[in-house]
Structure 1
Amino acid sequence: MTGRTAVVTGAARGIGRSVARRLVREGWRVLLSDVDPRVEAVARELDTSPVGGSGDGGGEPRAAGVVADVSRACDAARLAETAAELFGGVDALVANAAVGGPDTPLLDTPETEIRRVFEVNFFGVLHCVQAVRPLLGREGSVGRIVVVGSLFAQRPTPGAGAYSASKAAVQSLMRTLAVELAPSCTVNAVAPGYVMTGMHREELAARARRSGRSVEEERERVVAEVPLARHGVGADVADAVHYLLSGAGYVTGQTLNVNGGVLTS
């Protein structure tokens, strides 16, 4: 996979950052994007780190960062244009950018907030696929798309109704795209479970508020649900994404659950 290019959205922190780090370490060139301006510093760190390959800061970059809001089609198009300018094209897309939404029952959530969740979580994926599709499969290669779903698409949680619905829509979109883009591109999803990210810490705090227990007690209750008896970390999801991007040539339209056994197939 050395020399191939991936666009990773939502890469300033959490799962997206872990995916970008893994890909750079494996020899990919990576365009990181996020609404968070810190994505540029993350990209510089990856580009100049020992795992990044360039080291001296000269020549073609191994990683670059772009501030972008993927809920806007024009920003997604700018990502594709930037990848083409810097790296000559795109071989893979990891559509990870997402927001959690408000901690309220779905029927009590204002429509504007539900729409915002879908604009980022669902339409953000669609915009990015539309933008990079013309660049995938160059020189006869097979393009790769991985979208990031969620355990909550299959196991809805009180207070996260908009998020759960948006991730279910993303996984349905993945299955449609897998059929429509074959055979020139594979399209799959990873569905993280309880991965210790900033979003999950917010969820633990919300659980604690609802239950009256402490955040640490909620953390222990979550771990008790996981057969592998621990929270996931970003590297666990990055491993799954790397498999789908770098191997898995006969795998498309599938969801790879990364949840420690909370749900089994």
Structure 2
Amino acid sequence: MKNVIITGTSRGIGFEMVKLFSEAGHNVLALSRNSNPIVDLKLENVTALEFDIARESEIGKLSGFLQSEKKSVDILINSAGHLLKKPFFEITSEEFKRCFDVNVFGAVSLTQAVLPFMKKNGHVVNISSMGGVQGSVKFPGLSAYSSSKGALITLTEMLAEEYKETGPSFNVLALGSVQTEMLQEAFPGFEAPLSAKEMAKYIMDFSLSGNKFYNGKILQVSSTTP
């Protein structure tokens, strides 16, 4: 049984991962700005906290919870994401910053908060996008989103190097298109080849065993582009 923290759990892949980890008997701390979707499920071994990773003032809430519960953490999955589809010239600085606040700085602050509670054989899995992979096919309107996801990839590589002697392991999954609410909002009518539940199962399996084989690696998880 593992102690797992997942961000972005109110819908999509994060929501499905919470259910799968719970069904498999693991302890899950689900973090999202809206905890109701998880709370309403009344799942075994799941605690839902309302938590905005883009607000640094809330990081102390997580540290305090882990300290009071005397919890060690085996797996951290930074799954929360913010997708903006808008022509570059029309993007405000606030909108661009919001992408980085959620997709990069949120993951930074959360990882810093969780690391003191992680075991040497722990595993941090960052969820990026094919749009953030250098040389991949790019799409107009995704300059803020894709550049932030590219930053998350490089961050993962750097942390794996920095913690290679002490652990935990750090890996990043660059996902292709998955049928989620976020994708539908950005690309109405687009039909992705994979469901949120299918991708959630892949990520869960990788988070449980991938650190035995990989550290500091970018794994492209995509059957199509996007």
Q: Do both share a fold (TM > 0.5)?
A: yes
Q: CA RMSD of the aligned region, Å? A: 1.9
CA distance in 2, matches of 1:167, 1:185: 21
Residue in structure 2 matched with residue 88 of structure 1 by the alignment: 71
Q: Give the counterpart of 1:42 among 16, 38, 42.
A: 38
Aligned-residue offset at 1:84:
4.1
SS at match of 1:159: coil
Residue in structure 1 matched with residue 123 of structure 2 by the alignment: 144
Bigger Rg over Cα: 1
Residue in structure 2 matched with residue 66 of structure 1 by the alignment: 49
The number of residues matched between the two structures is 221
Instruction: Label 1:77 to 1:257 Cα distance change in 2 as closer, same or farther (>3 A).
Output: farther
CA distance in 2, matches of 1:43, 1:195: 24
Residue in structure 2 matched with residue 227 of structure 1 by the alignment: none
Q: What is the 5 A alignment of 1:230-245?
A: 231-245=193-207
Q: Is the contact between residue 77 and residue 128 of structure 1 (CA under 8 Å) also seen in structure 2?
A: no
One-letter amino acid matched to 1:45: L
1:30 aligns with 2:28: yes
Instruction: Label 1:252 to 1:240 Cα distance change in 2 as closer, same or farther (>3 A).
Output: farther
Residue in structure 1 matched with residue 10 of structure 2 by the alignment: 12
Q: Is the contact between residue 4 and residue 76 of structure 2 (CA under 8 Å) also seen in structure 1?
A: yes
Q: What is the 5 A alignment of 1:166-245?
A: 166-183=148-165, 184-205=167-188, 215=189, 219=190, 231-245=193-207
Runs (5+) with no aligned partner, structure 2? none
One-letter amino acid matched to 2:194: G
TM-score by length of 2: 0.89
CA distance in 1, matches of 2:162, 2:39: 33
CA distance in 2, matches of 1:77, 1:92: 19
One-letter amino acid matched to 2:90: D
Q: Is the contact between residue 44 and residue 64 of structure 1 (CA under 8 Å) also seen in structure 2?
A: no
1 or 2 for the larger relative contact order (CA 8 Å, sep ≥6)?
2
CA distance in 2, matches of 1:188, 1:46: 31
Cα deviations by residue, 1:161-213 (Å, 9 ceiling, x for unpaired): 100110111111111111112231111111221101111001222xxxxxxxx
Q: Is the contact between residue 240 and residue 258 of structure 1 (CA under 8 Å) also seen in structure 2?
A: no
Runs (5+) with no aligned partner, structure 1? 53-61, 206-214, 224-229
Cα deviations by residue, 1:72-100 (Å, 9 ceiling, x for unpaired): 22323322432443462222111011111
SS at match of 2:178: coil
SS at match of 1:238: helix
Residue identity over aligned pairs, in percent, reads: 24
CA distance in 2, matches of 1:24, 1:80: 22
Instruction: Label 1:190 to 1:16 Cα distance change in 2 as closer, same or farther (>3 A).
Output: same
CA distance in 2, matches of 1:25, 1:179: 34
